[in-house]
């Protein structure tokens, strides 16, 4: 099976081959280097007039890319490490995401910002963060994360050609070398996508006849760890935990949440992210699940789960990194970031 890196690289080649409006820009993306994580390898050799190396200025990269998008091109800009998105924050949040409204829908900014995110590589506190939470909830800005259970390349193609607004495309450093998985054993796969929330959620249900014991939500680099966790819970603890892998982080895919919960209501809803859970993705996901469940302070407000065998309020559990900078020391980094054992332990504590 191809790796995440292969899928992204092949998609970039196909995009540039198929559409002359697609241009690339970023630091050190020319051959023979091909980018810090080699996602752009081979592209400057094939398309030298449309691949631009830039100075070390994230604000300049995103500002230039925004201008190219306004002039009708489809720029894909690479920010070498996600930690540096803050340096482009003004161009991204106050300009690219707002031009549509500032110019009364006469201008759109079809821009993709690719960036490597997360830790587990020993890169230290300024090159290991998961800062995507700080860009969620910005009107006009999409945040999307590929993973190993679907095609990262197809997600990049969708972000480039089908979204008329800026997209922050979060790539997990630790997943670049991982092979894509065609599915999960003893689980049924459903792809959830619609016009309101176009970037898909992959739902994996355990083969069973009753409601699940739990439902685990995750994205990006946490997907491989969550897969191992639910497999352990099934084999060793006989717990049936479904897995919902989200690719559209922001806007929150509310329609996906409603559809998933309409089909089966879990006793436990678990949210796993690599960042700390404070003010993050898991908090907004929990709020959306709880609001749709219709329970406030344990009192049912609605019953959208026809046929469900459970009428108990859903218990929620959020799992993430320690509320601290990411240490440089590898053992301390491991302790700071959520591991498979942490996920399994926290789930078991809920029963």
The rounded distance, in Å, linking the Cα atoms of 265 and 313 is: 10
Q: Name the fold adopted by 4-175.
A: Rossmann fold (3.40.50)
Of 110-124, 200-214, 241-255, the one with minimum mean pLDDT is: 200-214
The active-site residue, picked from 95, 127, 147, 256, is 127
> pLDDT grade, residue 263 (50/70/90)?
confident
Q: 4-175 and 187-348 share one CATH topology?
A: yes
Q: Using 50, 70 and 90 to split pLDDT, how confident is the model at 104?
A: very high
End-to-end Cα, the chain, rounded Å: 37
* Domain edges within the chain: 4-175, 187-348
Question: How far is residue 179's CA from residue 294's CA, in Å, rounded to a whole number?
Answer: 40
42-46, 279-283, 308-312, range with the lowest pLDDT: 308-312
For the domain spanning 187-348, the CATH number is 3.40.50.920
Contact 42, 34 (CB under 8 A): yes
Concerning whether 127 is annotated as a catalytic residue, the answer is yes
Q: How confident is the model at residue 209 (pLDDT cuts 50, 70, 90)?
A: low
Report d(CA 153, CA 24) in Å as an integer.
15
């Amino acid at each position: 099976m191809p790796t995440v890196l292969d899928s992204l690289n092949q998609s970039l080649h196909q995009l540039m081959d198929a559409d002359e409006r697609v241009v690339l820009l970023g630091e050190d993306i020319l051959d023979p280097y091909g980018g810090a994580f080699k996602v752009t390898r081979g592209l400057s050799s094939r398309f030298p007039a449309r691949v631009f190396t830039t100075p070390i200025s994230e604000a300049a990269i995103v500002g230039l890319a925004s201008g190219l998008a306004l002039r009708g091109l489809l720029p894909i800009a690479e920010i070498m490490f996600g930690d540096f998105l803050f340096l482009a924050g003004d161009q991204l949040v106050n300009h690219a995401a707002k031009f549509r409204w500032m110019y009364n829908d006469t201008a759109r900014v079809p821009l993709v910002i690719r960036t490597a995110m997360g830790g587990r590589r020993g890169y230290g506190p300024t090159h290991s963060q998961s800062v995507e939470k700080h860009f969620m909830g910005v009107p006009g800005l999409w945040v999307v994360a590929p993973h190993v259970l679907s095609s990262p390349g197809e997600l990049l193609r969708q972000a480039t050609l089908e979204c008329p607004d800026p997209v922050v495309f979060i790539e997990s450093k630790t997943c670049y070398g991982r092979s894509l998985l065609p599915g999960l054993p003893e689980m049924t796969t459903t792809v959830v996508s619609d016009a309101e929330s176009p970037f898909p959620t992959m739902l994996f249900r355990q083969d069973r006849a009753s409601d699940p014991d739990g439902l685990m939500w995750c994205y990006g680099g946490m997907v491989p760890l969550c897969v191992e966790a639910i497999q352990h819970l099934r084999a060793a603890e006989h717990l049936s935990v479904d897995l919902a892998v989200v690719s559209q982080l922001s806007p929150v895919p509310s329609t996906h949440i409603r559809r998933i919960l309409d089909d089966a209501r879990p006793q436990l809803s678990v949210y796993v992210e690599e960042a700390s859970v404070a003010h993050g993705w898991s908090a907004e996901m929990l709020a959306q699940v709880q609001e749709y469940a219709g329970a406030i302070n344990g009192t049912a407000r609605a019953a959208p789960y026809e046929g469900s065998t459970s009428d108990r309020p859903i218990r929620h559990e959020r799992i993430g990194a320690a509320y601290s900078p990411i240490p440089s020391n590898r053992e301390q980094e491991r302790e700071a970031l959520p591991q498979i054992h942490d996920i399994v332990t926290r789930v078991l504590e809920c029963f």
